[in-house]
Amino acid sequence: MKKTVLITGATGFLGSHLVKYLLENGYQVVILKRSFSKIDRLISVLDKLICYDLDKCNLSQPFLDIDTIDAVIHTATEYGRQMESASSVANSNTFFPLLLMEEAVKNDVKLFINTDTYFNKKEIPYRGLANYSLSKKHFLDWGKHFADSGKICFFNMYLEHIYGTHDSPSKFTTYVIQSCLNNVPYLNLTEGRQTRDYVYIDDVVSAYYRVLNNSSEEVKFQEYEVGTGMLTSVREFAENVHFFTNSSTILKFGAMPYQNYEIMESKANNSSLLELGWKAKISLKEGLQKTIDYETNLIHSYSNL
């Protein structure tokens, strides 16, 4: 019998890749979205999904309709970068997933996998996105509480700096790639001394899959840091993109100041994932080439319209 996974944020970058990977590996996939969500990332597999529009049904409906949901993977989030109110951010990142977890517990779902971010690894909320960070920490506390009560297994995935195909143009990695491919005259950057653990989307998805398939009801709570465990400076990343795209764009390092509360170094302690037999397989060079090829094809397709 096929296992069934319910996914939030399925129309997004990470969620859409997860959906496709799980389908390819024999899972039945249920997604929660809104009726007005952009579904372009899922067009090729939409007919294989069980879809629920949250603005048109109760959150309990999927659990009533489907006999067994084996796990929930929560990837939906709101960062608050568009000046959303604190209550809006808290509703998206704390109250909504809490309601979802209550439904999961009520319907005997065994596992809840939550998606978190590298800048939330510290106990002090990240002040660069304070509302987001605080709301995620509040939900993590609820997850620990439910797990400690023995109600459900709760696993928290701290993602390092993920990149890859189908990512948002607003993301730093995509922005640099698109700018270099379009040969913009110059690109203003910081000095680029920050170091990041750049991890390709396929490796991130395989980490979720490994955790999903190696869960045990004996382990109620677990945290995983998802990354390669290797550091690359922002400057080196941009220079690699510039080289691989053969771009004429001038990279103006130091033209921009560092942001307030800039995180100067972050890499995954991925020992918990390594113990499960997972490891990152795609090098930065290979991942960049895959992403650049994808973005190049997009540019060509637009130019032929």
- Tokens representing 64 are 């009533």
Q: Going along the chain, which residue ranges are E strands?
A: 4-8, 28-33, 50-53, 71-74, 111-117, 153-159, 161-163, 186-189, 195-196, 198-200, 221-226, 232-233, 250-253
Q: Which residues pair with 52 in a beta bridge?
A: 32
Residue 253 sits at φ, ψ, to 5 deg, of: -70, 135
Is residue 15 within 8 A of residue 8, CB to CB? The reply is yes
Reading the block at residue 302, the tokens are 């637009």
3-state secondary structure of 10: coil
Task: Give the dihedral sign, CA 280/283/288/294.
Answer: negative
User: Would you say 256 and 189 are in contact if contact means Cβ atoms under 8 Å apart?
Assistant: yes
Place of tokens 């629920």: 52
Indicate if 132 belongs to the active site.
yes
Q: From the candidates 27, 52, 132, 163, give the one annotated as an active-site residue.
A: 132
Catalytic positions are: 132
